[in-house]
Structure 1
Amino acid sequence: MAASQTRAVIAALEAKGGVGCARFVGGCVRNTLMGKPVDDIDIATTLTPDQTIEAIEQAGLRAVPTGVEHGTVTALSGGRPFEVTTLRRDVATDGRRAVVAFTHDWGEDAQRRDFRFNALYADAEGTVYDPVGQGVEDARAGRVVFVGDPMTRIREDYLRILRFFRFQAWYGRLEPDAEALAACAALKDMLLGGTAERIQKELMKTLAADDPRPAFRLMAATGVLAAILPTVESLARFDALVAIETEQLFETDPVLRLAALTPDDNGAKALAERLRLSNADRDRIVEAKTPGPTIVSWMSPREARRAIYALGSSAFRDQVKLAWAGAERASTASQWRALLALAETWTPPTLPLTGEEIMKAGVPKGPMVGKVLREVELWWIDQDFIEDKFSVIERLKAVAQGMVY
C-alpha cells in the first residue's frame, strides 16, 4: 500500500482535508494483516465527494464520479484506479439498497459494514484502526463474524448471506460463526427475490476460491444453496472436481465447477437464465453438458480424436473433467490426463473436400451435395481422419455413384 501511485492519492486528499482525513479500508487492510495478496485498494475519507474530486484534480490526477450519490469517486493515479468513499451512515435500508448520509465519524462508517475484519482502517503510516473491535483478531485468526447483530446486517442487504459464505470460503480457517449461520438459515428466503446478477456475482466469486467445498456444504446445510440453485441434488461431483483440480494442480475453474453442480438433464440453459450468465459462460456450460460420445478414461486415442472432432477441443476437455469427477475409480488419473493432453495437442482437421469437387463427381447442385458430403465425412472420420486426398476422392466417387445413379 506504499506504492507511489497510492501515496499520490493519499497526499492529494490530505492536502485538502489535512493529515488523517483519508485511510485505507476493508479488503486491502484485511489481506495485508492476513499476509494475502492485495488486489484493489479502497480509501475512506472525511471529505465530501465534491471535495474529493476537487482534491484529486488539484493534484493533477483524474477523478471519475463512479458513485457520487453513495459517496464514491474513483481516483486514477499512474493508470491505477482507487475507490475513494466518503464516510457514511445508513439512513434507510430495504434489503437491497441503502439511503446514506455522509459523516465525519469513523465509528459510524464502520458500523454499517458487513464483517468485523472488513471494518478495519489503516493510515499512511501503517497504523491500523479497529472501531468495532476484534476485527484485527478475526483477520489474523481467519474468522468471519458480522459487525453487530447478524440478523440486522442481513436485513439491511440480503446479499450479505452469500458474502458470508464467500468470505468463509476465501478466508475462514476456524469453525463458522454459529450466530451467522443461524441468521443465514433464518433469512435465506430473502434470496428468492434477489437480483440474479448480484447473486451470480457472489456465487462465482465463491466458486473461485481455492477450496470452496466446506463453504458449499454449509450453504447446503442451511438451505441457502437450495434458495439460489434449487436443481442441485448432490455435491459429490463438485467435491470430486475440486479435489481433482487441487491434486492435479489444475487452474481453478469456477465456470466448470458451476457445471459440476448442474444436473445432466438439460438444466444448463435454465441455470444460465436463472443466474443471467454471460453468453460465453452459458454456451460453455451447455456444451459441457451436451450429450455426445461417451467419455471414459480408457478411450483409445482414435476414439478420443473422434470425440474431440464431434465436440470441439474445449467442450471435450470440460466433459473429460466432469466425467473424471463422476467416475467411481480414482486410480486412472494418468488415463484422464492423457485424454486432456491429446485435446491440447491435437487439432481437429478439416475434411479435404469441397462442394465444387463433389459436383465435379457428378452430384447435382442442391441438397444431394450435403448428403454426399456427410457420407464421405463419416467414412473419413472412421478412417481416423485420413490425410490422403486421393483416397478421399476415390471414396467420393463411390458414394456419388451409389447415391446418384
Structure 2
Amino acid sequence: MTERLPAAAWTAREDLAALVAALDPASQGNCRWVGGVVRDTILGIAPKDVDMATTLLPDETAARLGAAGIKAVPTGIAHGTVTAVLPGGTVEITTLRRDVSTDGRHATVAFSTEWRDDAARRDFTINALYADPRTLDVFDYHGGLADLAARRVRFIGDARERIREDYLRILRYFRFQARFGSIPADAEAEGAVAELAAGMKGLSRERVGWELMNLLGLPDPAPTVRRMAELGVLAHVLPEATNEGLAALDRLIGNEREAGAQGVGLRRLAALLPPDPPLAEQVAARLRLSVAQRKRLATVAAREAGEADARALAYRVGIEEARDRLLIGGTSITPLDGWTAPVFPLKGGAIVARGVTAGPEVARLLRTVENQWISEGFPDDARVSSILDEALAHTSSPHG
C-alpha cells in the first residue's frame, strides 16, 4: 500500500500549487517535496520550511519560475538551489545531486536525474523521504518510514562513511535523536559518532555553535546531552561542561516545566557551564555567538547561590537575564510576570541642588539612595526624597 502524506494546511496552499504548475506543467513528475516537510507532516507536526527537489537544472528552474511570474533568487546556485519567493513563504528548490568527493566539511556534487542518487547522499533515513506534490504519494528509498514509526535515527548506508563525508553529521545526529529518537538509540550510529568525534575539530565554529544551540533549544535535550558526554562527544564540543553542569541542566529543565517557561538554548548552555563569566565569554567567542548572546551568557554566568529577590535582580541585570539566573537557581520567576523595571527617579542635579559639590560625592550618594530604593521594592518619589534626606544627614560633610 502506498503511503500518502496526511492532509495538512500547507498542502492546500494555492501558491504552492502554482509553484508546482510552473515547474511541472505537463505532470512529468520532475519535482517532489523533500526532507523535513515530509517527515514532520507524517508525524503531524507543522513544518517550519517547505523544500522541494527537482530533476530540472538550476537555470531551467529559475527560467520556469520567471515565466510564471514567480520571483527566483539564486541562493545556492553552485549547489543547485534556487529559492522561490511566494506569498506564503519561500521554498528552496534544489536539483537532484550525487556526491563526487567529500573532505569531512564540504562536498563536491554533480547534478543528477535519479531520485535514488539524491536520497543516497542525505544523512538520515527519516530525512530522505519525498512526496509527489499532486498525489502526495511518499517515496522512501532507505526505510525511513519504518524508522520514523520506530523513532529510530539511522544513518543512510554505512554510518562511519556518512560521518567522514561531513563531521557535522555527528551533531545533527544528536539533534535529531533529541527531537525524534527513542531509547535505546541505534547501536551503529552511536558507535560511529563515538569513534569519529575527534573529527569535529576541523568544523567551522559557526556550524558547531548553530547545531549546539538548536539542540539545546529542543523541549528536553538533557538525556541526549548526557549521552553525548557518555560517548565522549561532548568533550569535543563543550569541554567546559562537567557532571555538575549536566545535573544543573536536568534541574533547569524541570524548573522550566514547573514555571511554564519556554526552554531557551542560551539559558541551557549557561546551566552547563560553571558560574564563571570570563569562561562563559570564551565559550561564546569560540562558538561564534552574537554580541548580544555573549553578553547575556556572561551575565547569566555571574549568577550566585540564593538569588531570591527577583525584581531587584531584574533591575540590575535585565529581565531575561534574571529569568535565566532564577530558573537555573530554582527560584520563582512569578514576580517578573508582567513587570517592567522602573526608572530610578533621582538625578545628580537634584543632589547638587541640595548643596553637594558635583563629583564623586554625588555619585556615591546616588548609589546609596538607589541601593536603598531597590531594597525597599522601588517606592515612590516621595520616599526617594526621604531616603536622600537620610543619606545627607549621615554624610559627614554633605556640603562639600
TM-score normalised over the length of structure 2: 0.90
**1:10 match:** 20
**1:160 match:** 169
**1:327 match:** none
Is structure 2 residue 95 aligned with structure 1 residue 86? yes
Shift of 1:369: 2.3
**1:129 match:** 139
Provide the rounded CA distance (Å) in 2 between the counterparts of 1:207 and 1:381: 34
Shift of 1:259: 0.9
Provide the rounded CA distance (Å) in 1 between the counterparts of 2:164 and 2:341: 54
**AA aligned opposite 1:159:** L
**Quick one: which of 340, 343, 351 aligns to 2:336?**
343
**Quick one: which of 281, 285, 295 aligns to 1:273?**
285
SS of the equivalent of 1:173 reads coil
**Quick one: which of 239, 256, 263 aligns to 1:230?**
239
**Percentage of identical aligned residues:** 44
Shift of 1:97: 0.8
Aligned counterparts, 1:18-167, within 5 A: 18-124=27-133, 125-132=135-142, 134-167=143-176
Provide the rounded CA distance (Å) in 2 between the counterparts of 1:221 and 1:190: 17
Are 1:295 and 1:319, in contact at CA under 8 Å, matched by a contact in 2?
Answer: no
Provide the rounded CA distance (Å) in 2 between the counterparts of 1:185 and 1:31: 28
Deviations 1:309-363 (A, max 9, x none): 3333332221111111xxxxxxxxxxx33xx121234444333322222122222
Is structure 2 residue 295 aligned with structure 1 residue 283? yes
Are 1:159 and 1:199, in contact at CA under 8 Å, matched by a contact in 2?
Answer: yes
Provide the rounded CA distance (Å) in 2 between the counterparts of 1:57 and 1:262: 50
Q: 1:136 to 1:304 in 2, by over 3 A?
A: closer
**1:333 match:** none
CA RMSD of aligned residues (A): 2.0
Are 1:33 and 1:140, in contact at CA under 8 Å, matched by a contact in 2?
Answer: no
Provide the rounded CA distance (Å) in 1 between the counterparts of 2:376 and 2:219: 43
Provide the rounded CA distance (Å) in 2 between the counterparts of 1:261 and 1:240: 11
Provide the rounded CA distance (Å) in 1 between the counterparts of 2:82 and 2:311: 53
Q: 1:159 to 1:394 in 2, by over 3 A?
A: same
Shift of 1:291: 4.4
**Quick one: which of 319, 329, 347 aligns to 1:354?**
347
Shift of 1:82: 0.4
Shift of 1:110: 0.8
Deviations 1:374-403 (A, max 9, x none): 233344445444422541452354256634
**AA aligned opposite 1:250:** A
Shift of 1:175: 2.1
Is structure 2 residue 249 aligned with structure 1 residue 256? no
SS of the equivalent of 2:12 reads coil
**Quick one: which of 376, 393, 398 aligns to 2:393?**
398
**Quick one: which of 198, 215, 226 aligns to 2:224?**
215
**AA aligned opposite 2:290:** S
**AA aligned opposite 1:368:** E
**AA aligned opposite 2:359:** G
Are 1:372 and 1:403, in contact at CA under 8 Å, matched by a contact in 2?
Answer: no
Provide the rounded CA distance (Å) in 2 between the counterparts of 1:308 and 1:108: 54
TM-score normalised over the length of structure 1: 0.89
Provide the rounded CA distance (Å) in 1 between the counterparts of 2:375 and 2:263: 36
Q: 1:92 to 1:382 in 2, by over 3 A?
A: closer
SS of the equivalent of 1:252 reads coil
Provide the rounded CA distance (Å) in 2 between the counterparts of 1:323 and 1:282: 20
Are 1:376 and 1:395, in contact at CA under 8 Å, matched by a contact in 2?
Answer: no
**1:194 match:** 203
Shift of 1:23: 0.6
Q: 1:344 to 1:11 in 2, by over 3 A?
A: same
- The 10-residue stretch of structure 1 (116-125 or 1-10) with the greater mean CA deviation from structure 2: 1-10
Shift of 1:71: 0.4
**AA aligned opposite 2:106:** R
Q: 1:136 to 1:317 in 2, by over 3 A?
A: same
**Quick one: which of 371, 374, 377 aligns to 2:367?**
374
Shift of 1:280: 1.7
Shift of 1:308: 3.5
SS of the equivalent of 1:402 reads coil
Q: 1:229 to 1:45 in 2, by over 3 A?
A: same
**2:7 match:** none
**AA aligned opposite 1:260:** A
Provide the rounded CA distance (Å) in 1 between the counterparts of 2:239 and 2:338: 38
Deviations 1:22-47 (A, max 9, x none): 01111111112222221211111000
Shift of 1:219: 0.8
Provide the rounded CA distance (Å) in 2 between the counterparts of 1:377 and 1:249: 32
Shift of 1:304: 4.5
Q: 1:175 to 1:354 in 2, by over 3 A?
A: same
